[in-house]
Amino acid sequence: MGGVPKKRHTKGSRNQRRMHLFLKNPSFSQCAKCGKPVKSHHACPFCGHYRGKEAVDVFSRLDRKQRRDRESEIAAQGAAKETKTSETAG
């Protein structure tokens, strides 16, 4: 009767058990559009694209200046990517 433990668990066995509860760093994949790290199976928080399509309209939430900055940064990322691919191809 009663859930009374018969023997004390050592710190080592306790820690070994809790090792599986340890939070790991989330793994990120790269956004195909802007190259930023993105959580897998999530739309990109930076450009709003998911699997090559625009899933979220991120620009609608920004004011005009932020929008311009972000558009230019995405364009720069895309240009850098294109030059990279052409270099590897040629």
Residues that bind Zn ion (CB under 5 A): 31, 33-34, 44, 46-47
Cβ proximity to Zn ion, 28 vs 33, nearer residue: 33
The minimum distance between CB 53 and Zn ion, in angstroms, equals 12
Instruction: Compute the least distance from the CB of residue 77 to Zn ion, in Å.
Output: 8
Say if CB 24 and CB 30 are below 8 A apart: no
- Token pair, residue 8, equals 């004390």
- The residue ranges of DSSP E strands in 1-90, in sequence order, are 28-30, 37-39, 49-50, 53-54
Quote the least distance from Cβ 25 to Zn ion, whole Å: 20
Longest dimension (CA), the chain: 77
Strand partners, 29: 38
Minimum CB distance to Zn ion smaller for 34 or for 59: 34
| 18 or 51: CB nearest Zn ion | 51
